Amino acid sequence: MIKSPRGTRDLLPPDTALWNFVEATVRDVFRAYNFHEIRTPIFESTELFARGVGEETDIVSKEMFTWEDRGRAESDKGQSLTLRPENTAGVVRAYIEHKLWDRGLNKLFYIGPQFRRERPQKGRFRQFYQIGAEVIGPATAGSQSPARDAELLELLAALLDRVGVTNWTLELNSVGDLADRAKFNDALRQALAPVVANMCSDCQRRAVTNPLRVFDCKVPADQPMIETLPTITEFLSDQSRAHYEEVKNILNAVQVPFIENPRLVRGLDYYQKTAFEFTHGALGAQNAILGGGRYDGLSEALGGPPAPGIGFAIGEDRLVLSLAVSAESVIRKPDVYIAPLGIGMNRDAARIARELRRHPLVVELGDESFRLKKSFETADKIGARYILIVGENEVAADAFALKHLASGEQVTVPRADLVQHISQPK
C-alpha cells in the first residue's frame, strides 16, 4: 500500500471544516486591520533562504528540501531550488522584485504550506501550514515604529480570541539591532570559550560562526551551560531599549498580557529588536503556536532598499490542535435530503435541488432507484434536517411532502414556499 510520505498527512472531513472555519475567521480579522493577501511560489531559489533565514540556522543547515533543477532551458540547469521552509523571505523577495515600496506601507498576509525536514512528532510535520502576516515598507511610511509591533501583537490576541483559543501566553523579548547583537555575540564567544569543548558538536561550531544560535540547542546535557550565558538585555542600546519599552507600554494600554523572556532569540537569523512567541499549554513539547518579530535589515540583505518590517507566522496545524470547538460543531449539515421516489423522478428532483441550492440551502440529492426506507436511512446518516419526497403525485400537485427528521413532523408544502419553509430555524 502506498502511504503519504513521513511527516505529511491528508486533512479529511470533518476536520477540514475546522481548517476552513479558522481560515475564514482569520481572513475577517485581517480585513479589519486592512491586510491584503499575497501568494508567493511554494519553491524559491535556495539562495533566498540561505541569505534570508541564515546559513547557520537549523532550518537552512538541516531541514530544507532542496534539489537541482534539470529544467529544459540552459539557464535553468543546475539552479538550486528549495521548497519554502517559511514565507517571510519569499514575501520580502516579492517586495523587492515588484518595488512594493511605491505603495508605502504594505500589510500582507498569507495562508499556505511550508516544508521542513524535521523529525515528525505531535504538532510537528514535514509539510505544515502557516497563517502569516508581514508589515513592510520604507521608514517614511512608519514601518519602523513600535506602534506597528504592538498593533501586530494586539491583532494576534484578537485573532486567537476570535477563533476561540484561550490560555495562550505571549512571550516577548528584544534581540537588539545589529550593533547590539555584535556586542552580545562577542560576550557569548567569551563566555563559551572555557566550556564549549564539553558541549555538542553543533554548539562547538555555532560558538565560532554564530554564537546566538547556541540558544537553539536542544541537547539536554548542554542546557545547564546555556543557562549560565549572559542575556541580550544587558547589551541593548538606548534606542533598542526605548523601542522595546514603547511596545510594552502600548500593549499595557490595550491590555494585551505578556511575559518577558530574555532568552527568547527565535530560530531564524533575520530578527532585530522585537521577537515574540505565543505558547499554549495543550500542545505539549511543540508548544509554540506562533512566532515572529521585527526584521529591519532583511530587505537590504536580499539586495533591496532599507525597508523595516515585522511579521509573524501561526502554525495552523497547532492552532487547530488547540481549538476548543469540535469539527462537528462548525460543519454545516445538509438542510434537506431530496428523495426522488420512483423511476423517472430524477429530473424533477434535480430541478428542485437546483432551485433550493441557489438560495443557498445545503442540499443532498438522492437517486430514484432508492426505496423510501433507504432514503430515510441516508437522510439520517448525513444529518439532514428535512427529507423532501419527490414522487409522481407530488410533481402533479406541485406540492411536496416535507418531513422534519428530528420531530417527525410532516407537512405538504407548495413548491413556491419550499425555500421559506426549509430556511426557517427549527
Site string for ligand HAM, 31-70 (x = CB under 6 A): ----------------------------------------
Q: Which is nearer to ligand HAM, 131 or 352 (CB)?
A: 131
By CB under 6 A, the residues from 305 to 324 that bind ligand HAM are 311-313, 315, 317-318
CB of 311 to ligand HAM, least distance (A): 3
- C-alpha span between 115 and 275 (Å, rounded): 22
- C-alpha span between 152 and 172 (Å, rounded): 13
CB of 178 to ligand HAM, least distance (A): 17
CB of 407 to ligand HAM, least distance (A): 45
Which member of 44, 56, 86, 202 binds ligand HAM (CB under 6 A)?
A: 86
CB of 257 to ligand HAM, least distance (A): 19
Decide: is 403 part of the binding site for ligand HAM (CB under 6 A): no
Q: Considering only 27-35, 119-127, 226-234, 321-329, which stretch makes contact with ligand HAM by CB under 6 A?
A: 119-127
Residue, CB closest to ligand HAM: 315
By CB under 6 A, the residues from 126 to 165 that bind ligand HAM are 128, 130, 132, 134
Contact, 185 vs 212, CB < 8 A?
yes
Which member of 116, 206, 273, 280 binds ligand HAM (CB under 6 A)?
A: 116
Q: Which is nearer to ligand HAM, 319 or 389 (CB)?
A: 319
CB of 294 to ligand HAM, least distance (A): 8
CB of 290 to ligand HAM, least distance (A): 5
**Of the candidates 172, 162, 167, 170, the residue with the CA atom closest to the CA atom of residue 282:** 167
- C-alpha span between 210 and 208 (Å, rounded): 6
- C-alpha span between 199 and 217 (Å, rounded): 10
CA distances to 129, 162, 184, 237, 408 from 24, rounded to whole Å, are: 15, 11, 42, 42, 35
Coil, helix or strand at residue 280 = strand
CB of 250 to ligand HAM, least distance (A): 19
- C-alpha span between 79 and 94 (Å, rounded): 19
Q: How many angstroms from the chain centroid is the CA of residue 286?
A: 15
Count of residues in contact with ligand HAM, rule CB under 6 A:
26
Dig out the grid coordinates for 226 from the structure: 546555556
Which member of 117, 124, 183, 421 binds ligand HAM (CB under 6 A)?
A: 124
Q: Which is nearer to ligand HAM, 88 or 143 (CB)?
A: 88
Dig out the grid coordinates for 266 from the structure: 527565535
Contacts of 324 (CB under 8 A, 6+ apart): 164, 165, 166
Q: Which is nearer to ligand HAM, 174 or 375 (CB)?
A: 174
Site string for ligand HAM, 236-275 (x = CB under 6 A): -------------------------------xx-------
- C-alpha span between 271 and 337 (Å, rounded): 54
CB of 289 to ligand HAM, least distance (A): 5
Decide: is 88 part of the binding site for ligand HAM (CB under 6 A): yes
- C-alpha span between 328 and 152 (Å, rounded): 31
By CB under 6 A, the residues from 280 to 309 that bind ligand HAM are 288-293, 295
Q: Considering only 20-28, 115-123, 240-248, 350-358, which stretch makes contact with ligand HAM by CB under 6 A?
A: 115-123
Which member of 23, 69, 118, 355 binds ligand HAM (CB under 6 A)?
A: 118
CB of 88 to ligand HAM, least distance (A): 4
Coil, helix or strand at residue 80 = strand
**Of the candidates 123, 122, 121, 54, the residue with the CA atom closest to the CA atom of residue 85:** 54
Contacts of 339 (CB under 8 A, 6+ apart): 349, 366, 370, 372, 375, 376, 379, 387, 388, 389, 390
Dig out the grid coordinates for 41 from the structure: 511560489
Q: Considering only 31-39, 73-81, 124-132, 382-390, which stretch makes contact with ligand HAM by CB under 6 A?
A: 124-132
Question: Hey, what amino acid is at 157?
Answer: A
Q: Where are the alpha helices (DSSP H) in 291-398?
A: 298-301, 316-321, 327-330, 346-357, 372-381, 392-397
Q: Which residues bind ligand HAM (CB under 6 A)?
A: 86, 88, 116, 118, 123-125, 128, 130, 132, 134, 267-268, 288-293, 295, 311-313, 315, 317-318
